[in-house]
Amino acid sequence: MFKGKFGFDPTWLKLNTAALDGFFKPKAPPLIGADVSSSGVKMVELTASGPGRYRIERYAIEALPKDSVVDGNINNLDAVCDALKRCHKRLGTNIKNLALALPNAAVISKKILVPAGQSEEELELQVETEANQYIPFSLDEVNLDFQVLGPAPNSPDDVEVLIAASRKEKIEDRVAAAEAVGLKATVMDVDLYAAQSAYESMAIGAGEDEKDQNIAMVDVGATTMTVNVLRNGQSIYLREQPFGGNELTQEIQNKFGLSGDEAEVAKRDGGLPEDYDTDVLQPFVEKMGLEISRALHFFFSSTPYNQVSRIVLSGGCAAIRGVEAAITKRTQVPTVIANPFANMDVSSKIKAKSLAQDAPSLMVACGLAMRRFDQ
């Protein structure tokens, strides 16, 4: 979403030269979407398969040791570098450009209204002035960017602009990890916007069906549950809370006396005793439904809205069998499992069954991979 073209230090500007050049050429340079999360590194490569159509060529997932990434921050650079290297090797591509994303918590964003018809230079000056009011750091300490969203809904003489800023070290950590293994970060996005881009691709054809409807994108990862409510393509509510698949892993460890690694393998591949479903999995799924229900009540109590039309569930926990029906029952809201590749062609090299299992956890990586097609 953001092009990294305003307010960045010279190193960042130099870093983004290739990406920026691509915006002024018929095609942007090929790149890989790389999501560095608390559970692992996920990479996706997309290509164009026709006018307005994409194909997933390949993807790869590499697990990270526990606490390598904490609250979105790289805590163990060596472990992240190793995972990036293994993941890129497993992907089997010669493309070295990466689109990476910052965690939502590392980014301060604010929508502002500015007069329409301004030049790029005038807009940059006004954005910098506005940013000083909302960012609790010196502008020398942050990387700042903006995106013009379009005409302001209730003010025909203005345009709506989204400002985003992050501390420089948050960006530099991810850039350093890529460079350490011979890769190059050419785009830096935000988890939230990358996942939203993937959803827009997934929801092609919804059109009028989703007009003026509230769609709750719920991502349940290893440690964090994120609820992002969209209305007419815009985020109107965002909440993150500590809950995720690590709780299920811990319960498996406690119940069956396994190590953390053994529990993760068993959770993914099966082979646990018969009472796993009733004693461990079902209570976890019920708790997930309760957490999502609570998050929606927070949304209702803090906004003018009192309903959502659909829950789109993503993240590793979305692959748990039966979760879709359980959350629908608990929340009384129709729930679907996210598949960002639903409207894409699939390479013959990819196993359909594996992709169906992994797709919900690839939302951010897919959205990042789509940056390849920015005009």
Q: Tell me what pLDDT residue 133 has.
A: 83
Residue 298 is which amino acid? F
H or E stretch including 196?
helix 191-202
CATH of domain 205-339: 3.30.420.40
pLDDT tens for 21-38 read: 332 333 567 999 999 999
Q: What is the pTM of this model?
A: 0.87
Euclidean distance between CA atoms 71 and 90, whole angstroms: 26
Q: Which of 5-19, 226-240, 277-291, 332-346 has the lowest mean pLDDT?
A: 5-19
Q: Of 313, 254, 242, give the one whose Cα is nearest residue 283.
A: 254
Euclidean distance between CA atoms 320 and 245, whole angstroms: 10
Most confident of 119-128, 199-208, 284-293: 284-293
Q: Tell me what pLDDT residue 13 has.
A: 29
Give the Cβ contact number of residue 205 at 10 Å: 9
Q: Of 76, 147, 50, 67, give the one whose Cα is nearest residue 107.
A: 147
pLDDT tens for 327-363 read: 999 999 999 999 999 999 999 999 999 999 999 999 9
Euclidean distance between CA atoms 122 and 93, whole angstroms: 42
pLDDT tens for 132-153 read: 888 888 888 888 888 888 888 8
Q: Please compute the mean of the pLDDT values over residues 272-293 and round it to a whole number.
A: 94
As a whole-number percent, the residues of the chain with pLDDT over 70 amount to 91
pLDDT tens for 213-241 read: 999 999 999 999 999 999 998 899 999 99
Contact in structure between 364 and 58 (CB atoms under 8 Å): no
pLDDT tens for 63-78 read: 999 899 998 889 999 9
Provide the 3-class DSSP secondary structure of residue 31: coil
What average pLDDT does the structure give for the chain? Answer: 88
> Per-residue DSSP letters for 201-255?
HHTTT-GGGGTT-EEEEEEE-SSEEEEEEEETTEEEEEEEEE--HHHHHHHHHHH
Q: What is the dihedral of CA 36, 61, 192, 144, to 10 degrees?
A: 30
Residue 16 has pLDDT above 60, yes or no: no
Parts of the chain belonging to CATH 3.30.420.40: 10-104+169-197+361-373, 205-339
Domain 10-104+169-197+361-373 sits in CATH 3.30.420.40? yes
- DSSP class of 96: -
Estimate to the nearest angstrom the gap between the alpha carbon of 302 and the chain centroid. Answer: 24
Query: For 136-140, which contacts have Cβ atoms below 8 Å and span 24 or more sequence positions?
Result: 136/108, 137/165, 137/167, 139/7
Longest alpha-carbon distance in the chain: 66
64: tokens are 């990270």
